[in-house]
Amino acid sequence: MSSDGPTLGDESYVAAARGDGRSHGHGHAHSHSGGPTHTHPRTPGQEAHAHGRGTVDDGPGDDHEHERPAAGTGHDFDLPDLPSAVDVFDTTLRDGSQQEGLSLTVDDKLRVAEQLDHLGVTFIEGGWPGANPKDAEFFARAPKELHLERATLVAFGSTRRAGVRAEDDETLRHLVDAQTEAVCIVAKSSEVHVVDALRTTLDEAVAMVADSVAFLRANDLRVFLDAEHFFDGHKANPEFSLRILQAAEEAGAETLVLCDTNGGTLPFEVERIVADVLDRFETQVGVHFHNDSGCAVANSLVGVSVGATHVQGCVNGYGERAGNADLAAVVPDLSLKLRVATIPAERLPLITPVAHHIAELVNIAPNPQQPFVGASVFAHKAGLHTSAIARRSDAYEHVRPDSVGNGTRFVVSEMAGRSTLAMKAEELGLELDSDAMTSVLDSLKQLEYEGYHFEVADGSLELLLRESTGWRQSFFGLESYRVIAEQDDDLSTEATVKVRVGDERIVATAEGNGPVNALDGALRSAIGSRYPALAGVHLVDYRVRVLDSAKGTGSVTRVLIDSTDGDRTWTTIGVSENIIAASWQALSDSVVYGLLHTAGGDA
Ligand SMILES: [Zn+2]
């Protein structure tokens, strides 16, 4: 029993004595005497956890070599327990969506998950199946509609209720029915919350964890345990809080996640408590911080610095009250500064575009001062040190902006970044020579100045890139369009478009419930018979934002349209002082993109 930590009075603790816990392994870190053996491949964080504890073995699988995680080697910090890698666990779709004013449709959630997978996080917590119909629908649709390449989808829930058998508990049943590979369950790990909120005994709270984890493991699920209010609980009654973790470990939980649920814990407390847990348990330890003290990112880094190898948070720091730890800061801090592997190294430059894309999806304007990814954080006002930055940027910038997909900015549009564009062109199989690249960057510079935002409009960006290679769409040529809105008994909208398809001139009119809908109907009516594939392309979302024009001439309207052909989804953009003109641009791009990628489309 360690003398400087809390006394447990329970001999059965897997208690490595302080100081030698990292050098002596206790067998395979992936199996538990009390629980079933895990058969999935180890995550990079679990691999690092095992290595840190001296239990290096070949493990049941190692398929993480195809992409180098985002870390270099070596750092200058005196941090002996710093792991070589951590697992990044994003909870935007669960904890993040608790933010006031943030509301996601199921489609939005699927698209946020795609972005997170694109970024390369290890785990995506998708929501709480059974808690609301939206999350239930998300998990029902995910297996068919969500094709995750890197991330593992996780369903969230809680332990069984007090006094109910695990096999009879509805929440646990929903978790099994969600059909994910992994689940995360929250357990009260603070005495005061068990007594006051749960109104049950400490022994029952421990049994709730043991039974629930065992039940889920018996159903072949990987289990993460979110120990709620752990830090406060540990400060008040460490013995009880540690018993919760012990129950989870013995029942076969894969990761013990210590949660600072009210966000009030400070970094020095995190250091002591996480180290104490790591000294006592074999299982991988994770951390989950809220930002109520303004310390969520700092606390996450401190947790990792003493050996936590699983970090939860939300891209952009979404969450109720002051939010969760911002993964858009935690990830670059770990990768670039502490040299701890997080997402694949090649993907770190995606963090700015992904953070902005997710901001668009949740419809919350990105914070320009957000560390690493904000539009202003590498922006330098022209003046005295402008030329000095050009000569010696590291004197003024703490990391290279392009390492996180951001850009030193003297003018707005350089944000797009050559490397991001090159990556996109490669993804599309387009060969852009240096001249073409420069010309695209020039166009982007001008268009973004006018209010376009191509980071969130992949469809329009692709068309722009294709056009830079000399390609022009020849599906249809617009002659004119007209929209009439009339308030009679009802408000009705009618649109007419005049287009040319080949040598044919076509005029078509349609009604709609709004201008975009009417224009969409008219365009489809005009060209639909020539392009039957268009019937499979649908607009799924339409978002409008009024922007202050960079030109200073007043405001412009930016329209984003999301479309799908059932297989892929894409976003197109239009910007104009006139909302109809902006809508037409986005609509026209959407249709061109759809025809380009649908069978039979060739132009
Ligand atoms: Zn939380």
Give the separation between CA 596 and CA 428, rounded to whole angstroms.
12
- C-alpha 106 – ligand 1 centre gap (Å): 21
Q: Which two tokens stand for residue 372?
A: 């690493």
In angstroms, what is the span from residue 71 Cα to ligand 1's centroid? Answer: 27
> How far, CA to CA in Å, does 33 sit from each of 28, 43, 251, 252, 341?
10, 21, 9, 8, 30
* Mean pLDDT of the chain, nearest integer: 85
Distance 8 CA to ligand 1 centre (A): 27
pLDDT above 70 covers a percentage of the chain that reads: 83
Q: Among 227-231, 243-247, 393-397, 445-449, which is the least confidently predicted range?
A: 393-397
Q: How confident is the model at residue 23 (pLDDT cuts 50, 70, 90)?
A: very low
Q: 61-65, 205-209, 353-357, 443-447: lowest mean pLDDT where?
A: 61-65
- Protein residues within 5 Å, CB atom, of ion ligand 1: 95
- Which of the two residues, 78 and 70, has the higher pLDDT score? 78
Q: What number is the average pLDDT over the span 336-361? A: 94
Q: From the CA of 300, how far away is ligand 1's center (Å)? A: 13
> Distance, CA 96 to ligand 1 centroid (Å)?
8
Q: Tell me the CA–centroid distance for residue 277 and ligand 1, in Å.
A: 19
Which residue stretches of 148-295 are H helix? 170-177, 191-193, 202-218, 230-236, 238-251, 267-280
Mean pLDDT lowest among 117-131, 179-193, 380-394, 583-597: 380-394
22 versus 374: the higher-pLDDT residue is 374
| pLDDT, average across residues 347-353 | 94
551: pLDDT strictly greater than 80: no
Distance separating alpha carbons of residues 24 and 53, to the nearest angstrom: 6
On the question of pLDDT at 594 being above 70, the answer is yes
Distance 389 CA to ligand 1 centre (A): 40
- Are 208 and 187 within 8 A, CB to CB? yes
> If you measure from the C-alpha of residue 26 to the centroid of ligand 1, how many angstroms do you get, rounded to a whole number?
31
Give me the pLDDT at residue 98, please.
Answer: 92
Query: Residue 56: pLDDT band by 50, 70, 90 thresholds?
Result: very low
Edge-first strand order for the sheet with 538-548 is 538-548, 555-564, 569-576
- Pick from 495, 500, 509: which is nearest to 476 by CA? 500
250: its two tokens: 């013995």
Q: How far is the CA of 163 from the centre of ligand 1 (A)?
A: 25
What is residue 255's DSSP assignment? E
Query: DSSP class of residue 322?
Result: T
Distance (angstroms) between ligand 1 centre and the Cα of 327 equals 13
- Angle, helices 351-361 vs 106-119, to 10°: value is 180
Distance 259 CA to ligand 1 centre (A): 7
pTM: 0.67
pLDDT higher for 515 or 285? Answer: 285
Q: How close is the Cα of 477 to the center of ligand 1, in Å?
A: 52
Q: Is the pLDDT of residue 120 over 70?
A: yes
Of the pLDDT bands very low, low, confident and very high (cuts 50, 70, 90), residue 436 is confident
Quick: pLDDT tens for 494-505. Answer: 999 999 999 999
Between 79-88, 218-227, 563-572, the lowest mean confidence (pLDDT) is in 563-572
CA of 80 to the centre of ligand 1 (A): 29
